[in-house]
Amino acid sequence: MEIEGLVHTFEVLELAKRGEETSFDVTTQMWGPRASTAVSLILSYFSLCCSALLIILVKYYENLSSLVSISTCAVATCSNYYRKMKDKNVIYHKFSVCPNLNKIWISKCKRQGHINIKYARICIDHFRPSDYMDGIRNRLLGLNQKKIIKPDAVPSVNLPLQDNGEDDSGRSERKRKISIWQETKIKLKCLRLKKACVTTAMEPFTTSKTENI
């Protein structure tokens, strides 16, 4: 075998000197068909391992992103996350199963990217006390009242600014004040009209009394 290998090597060198083509199947001519089969098996095994590793990395990334979504608040300007606020009993609420309500919640978050509502959470800092159910039973028993959010609750506190520089809570408060002011103006106008009517009705009586005197 050694002599045949040396002879084959000299033949290749001789072809190279003549400038002729020297390509040949090394695995078949030097090691035989068994070596070629082994190399194919190794390449197939390597490809299978790469595919499995890629799947594992994708699953790991999905789980990591879901854990990040669960442990942080979905509102763009909120810095609350589980490790930071775990000693302060900050509650994180799941998104509603109602598609229409989910759209409202997503719009309140003001995030540029996609929000995965399966894992996303909004913390308690963005809800009012009126957004929670009254735990009468626990209150009567003197137990800690569990924060149960109402099915139709919508985040309305500490939200990102709108394009005009106002947040939703500030805008609603301004509308409420305007409404109160308008109602007050109408009431004052009605009082003035009533007073004018009473004065007009009393004028003939006052005039006749003066003439008699």
Q: Is residue 162 part of a domain?
A: no
Maximum mean pLDDT: which of 11-20, 35-44, 124-133: 124-133
Q: For position 33, what pLDDT does the model report?
A: 61
Q: Is residue 73 part of a domain?
A: yes
Q: Residue 165 is encoded by which pair of tokens?
A: 């520089």
Helix and strand counts by DSSP (H, E) for the chain: 7, 2
pLDDT value at 126 more than 90? yes
Q: What is the pLDDT of residues 86-95, one digit of tens each?
A: 656 788 898 9
Over residues 141-155, mean pLDDT:
79
Q: What is the pLDDT of residues 28-38, one digit of tens each?
A: 455 556 667 77
Over residues 139-167, mean pLDDT:
74
Q: Is residue 69 part of a domain?
A: yes
Contacts 24+ apart (CB under 8 A), 110-118: 110/75, 110/76, 110/77, 110/159, 110/160, 111/74, 111/76, 112/76, 115/74, 116/65, 116/66, 116/69, 118/66
Q: Is residue 98 part of a domain?
A: yes
The structural domain count of the chain equals: 1
Whether pTM > 0.85 for this model: the answer is: no
Q: For position 40, what pLDDT does the model report?
A: 77
Q: Is residue 19 part of a domain?
A: no
Q: Is residue 122 part of a domain?
A: yes
Q: What is the pLDDT of residues 34-75, one digit of tens each?
A: 667 777 778 777 778 887 777 776 665 555 444 444 578 889
Give residue 114's domain range: 65-157
Q: Is residue 149 part of a domain?
A: yes
Asked if residues 92 and 149 have their Cβ atoms less than 8 Å apart, the reply is no
- Of the ranges 22-31, 83-92, 164-173, 194-203, which one carries the lowest mean pLDDT score? 22-31
Q: Is residue 192 part of a domain?
A: no
